[in-house]
Structure 1
């Protein structure tokens, strides 16, 4: 659906409405980018790979058959460590995406509302 510019005749109200529409579009784009965040980590030898969503939920786990030689405890520790690292990767990416909304300006206020 095409967006139309509505004009009220009140310059200040029209300015506020235009700013609101621009902020709404920008916020929507940011939400889309948040949904696209994927955290990843892999073992140094590349035999175990983990992928998590922006919320840190495990979405993929790849275990090369050669990694089974590690033994169950070492393999479990590797998976847990990679899950933590992938979650940290996702959190770092989320901070990059949302930073403009979280940083304060020179007056200590949020730059965006």
Structure 2
């Protein structure tokens, strides 16, 4: 391997690391938002779906308890989907192809396909890094 090839490989690896560091910072700040019951119920979640805030408009208190409960659950689901879409976008920017697999994980009907796509992408990245390391040695 020539010095130029090695430097190119090193620049590429550095760019990947910087992209992942940037993605990690964005993920730490990521929030998903969801509303239900005509905006009377609002939820904010972190990337993993952990509820950060729940706002219930006083007018929502006039709803039947079962309807209010359903609205809260709907808002949480919508916020989780929003966070998942934002997370997929962040990962797609840092690791092209990874976001599409992750997006499938947020839709239960496509979870198996999304997991397979994400695993396939991760396997490809690992193989590429291993190949680069072998060629560099």
- The answer, yes or no, to whether TM exceeds 0.5 is yes
Q: Which of 33, 38, 42 is equivalent to 2:26?
A: 33
Post-superposition offset of 1:80? 0.5
Task: Give the CA RMSD over aligned residues.
Answer: 2.3
Q: Going by fraction, where is helix more abundant, 1 or 2?
A: 2
Give TM-score, length-normalised by structure 2: 0.63
Distance 2:46 2:17 in 1: 24
User: Is the 2:34–2:78 Cα contact (8 Å) retained in structure 1?
Assistant: yes
Gaps of 5+ in 1: 1-8
Map of 1:70 onto structure 2: 63
Shift of 1:15: 2.2
1:81 equivalenced with 2:74 (yes/no): yes
Displacement over 3 Å in runs of 4+: none
1: distance between equivalents of 2:15 and 2:43? 37
Aligned residues: 100
Who is 1:4 aligned against?
A: none
1:75–1:40 Cα change, 3 Å = same
TM-score (norm 1): 0.75
Match of 1:96 in 2: 89
Aligned to 1:24: 17
Distance, in Å, in 1 between the alignment partners of 2:92 and 2:7 is 28
Separation in 2, partners of 1:45, 1:13: 58
User: Is the Cα–Cα contact under 8 Å of residues 37 and 71 in structure 2 kept in the other structure?
Assistant: no
Larger radius of gyration: 1
SS in structure 2 opposite 1:45? coil
